[in-house]
Structure 1
Amino acid sequence: MVTIKLYPTLDEKVAVLTGAARGIGKAVSDALIENNCKVVIGDILEKEGQEVVDAYNEKAGLKVAAFIRTDVTKYSDNIALFKLAETEFGGVDIALMNAGIVTGADSMFTPLDDATENRIIDVNAAAMIKGTKVALLHMAKRGGGSIVLVSSMAGIYSAPNLASYNASKHAVVGYTRSFQLMPSICNVRVNALCPFWIETELTAKFCNSDYEKFPYAKVISRCRYATMECLVEGFMTLTTDESRNTQTLKVLPDGLEIEQAPVVPDSFSGSADRETLAQFIPAAIAVGKHELAEALARYEQQR
């Protein structure tokens, strides 16, 4: 059972979570509910997701949670998810983008099938982009917020037999590191969690593999796991600490550790380039604010 710490700054906040019908997403959702947040869960697992929400509402004696079936690969579903949070609870302050799959992870010599290759990238990477773009619009209207994207240690390191999974999770880390200016544009922070193996349905699926066909499964089954409690602490740290933006936080068997971004080589810049960069940042913030205003106007017209 996860020991849940209390964070006073989360009181009455509204959180949207994808992939929270079970596993990592549900553990984070449980912690948010215990911290007096309202939660809106989006998942393709309708029965499980509705049961989670019903249990929250029954325990609270009032509506503190809502569920909607969400295919995270579709903009229409992401929009419906965030609009539900706005309708039910007035807005969105926090988002956890957690939905992911492992089907097609081992792709080196599999059949040359478009659907298989597209699916793992669509769910694990492209859906993170779609959900984040919708979250940004809702949080900008709210005056700010925190978005946490779930990547993986496979987003930093690479394991044999997980080529496409590695690629999809590396994409999430790179995407997260691209939001350096967002706090100045709309007061929204974007960070990533990179868990090591944790006991979930995903790890069970790997461990139940045929070791002869998938030798890495034996490594997964015998290594030390990170704890769900540590993962929840990592999420809460990224969400409540307003100094954290574009961080990649590793969830390890020994605790939390920041993965530092690669250092830019000296050959990338000279004195003239540093001066240009200093001029670029305020210009880019101004452009970002203008583009945000246009995006919000378009979004409102779709309502």
Structure 2
Amino acid sequence: MVTKLYPTLDGKVAVLTGAARGIGKAVADALIENNCKVVIGDILEKEGQEVVDAYNEKAGSKVAAFIRTDVTKYSDNIALFKLAETEFGGVDIALMNAGIATGADSMFTPLDGNLELILKKEMAQIIYHLSYNTDATDDRIIDINTTAVIKGTKVALLHMAKRGGGSIVLMASMAGLYCAPNLSSYNASKHAVVGYTRSFQLMPSICNVRVNALCPFWIDTELAAHIRNSDYEKASHAKVISRSRYATMECLVEGFMTLTTDESRNTQTLKVLPDGLEIEPSSVAPDSFSGNADRETLAEFFPAAVAAGKRALAEALARYEQQQ
């Protein structure tokens, strides 16, 4: 994929989760083409190491590193960002991309596990039933798609604050803005990412870090291919998805680069659509949230909140340094 060049990225260091393949790898490819150093964290060890080895071989020097990363664990997120510091001196850019769709349709799935029932099914159906048959499945989609994004972002903030600033892009989805009826838990997990993204209004003033989200429509990845190949009687949405127009990977990469390089962008949710990129406007609070009598108080809030944020950041950095 031919990538537009962004001179301001030259020499920057990026950390990416879930970048052994698919969307994450496409973004990593573009960053490498723009003379960035990249550090990839993924549970796919073989694939991730192969990607990094290929980057280093082509460059003739060390421009990439890999570490196995379970994004649900603070310890793994810390190790990932510390590797970037050790290998390349710090972190300027982060993409929180790791995610799953297993357990997306959870409205009427079983309330407990029943392995005996699963094992009686034909082998071709075992994966389907395993996906919807344990407490762990309901927990895991939120753990990976939402809680892990929060954990990774918290670690990224500390490393970027030490660096003097940076840009974090969170991978949300169009399902974080609109709801498909067959993707209830997935919808919930991605709506949470959008809400989290919109909570960082003050962060540029606190530590010069910007946080934005990408919300792609369907893109031709392994996930989309798996859904297209689903049994339409069991997954009625699969036919709709298989016949939809897809957004392109090139458009998604452009969206990531736009959010990363345009320093005016913060707390934006950028939609990646078949027709191109489009910003989703944030909701405007009703007037009843604050009357005219509160305007002075609200004007005082923001500088006070920034000052409090800077104190909290200093305390968090001190704790972090002591724990390492």
TM range (shorter): over 0.9
State the 1:267 CA deviation: 1.4
Matched position secondary structure for 1:209: coil
Q: Does 1:265 align with 2:286?
A: yes
Give the whole-Å Cα distance in 2 for the aligned partners of 1:202 and 1:19: 13
TM-score by length of 2: 0.93
Give the whole-Å Cα distance in 1 for the aligned partners of 2:206 and 2:164: 11
Among residues 139, 153, 172, which one is paired with 2:193 in the alignment? 172
Residue aligning to 1:221 = 242
Give the whole-Å Cα distance in 2 for the aligned partners of 1:275 and 1:31: 46
Q: Does 1:186 align with 2:207?
A: yes
State the 1:103 CA deviation: 0.5
1:108 partner letter:
M
1:151 partner letter:
A
Tell me the number of residue pairs that the alignment of Structure 1 and Structure 2 aligns: 302
Matched position secondary structure for 1:167: helix
Q: How does 1:53-132 map to 2 (within 5 A)?
A: 53-112=52-111, 113-132=134-153
Give the whole-Å Cα distance in 2 for the aligned partners of 1:255 and 1:267: 36
Give the whole-Å Cα distance in 1 for the aligned partners of 2:223 and 2:201: 31
Give the whole-Å Cα distance in 1 for the aligned partners of 2:293 and 2:70: 47
Matched position secondary structure for 1:17: strand
1:36 partner letter:
N
Give the whole-Å Cα distance in 2 for the aligned partners of 1:32 and 1:3: 12
Q: How does 1:180-259 map to 2 (within 5 A)?
A: 180-259=201-280
Residue aligning to 1:22 = 21
**Structure whose alpha-carbon radius of gyration is higher:** 2
**Any gaps of 5 or more consecutive residues in structure 1?**
none
TM-score by length of 1: 0.99
Residue aligning to 2:118 = none
Residue aligning to 1:288 = 309
State the 1:274 CA deviation: 2.2
Give the ranges of 4+ consecutive aligned residues of structure 1 lying more than 3 Å apart after TM superposition: none
State the 1:53 CA deviation: 0.1
Give the whole-Å Cα distance in 2 for the aligned partners of 1:187 and 1:205: 40
Give the whole-Å Cα distance in 2 for the aligned partners of 1:276 and 1:164: 39
Give the whole-Å Cα distance in 2 for the aligned partners of 1:205 and 1:302: 42
Residue aligning to 2:4 = 5
Matched position secondary structure for 1:54: helix
Identity of aligned residues (%): 87
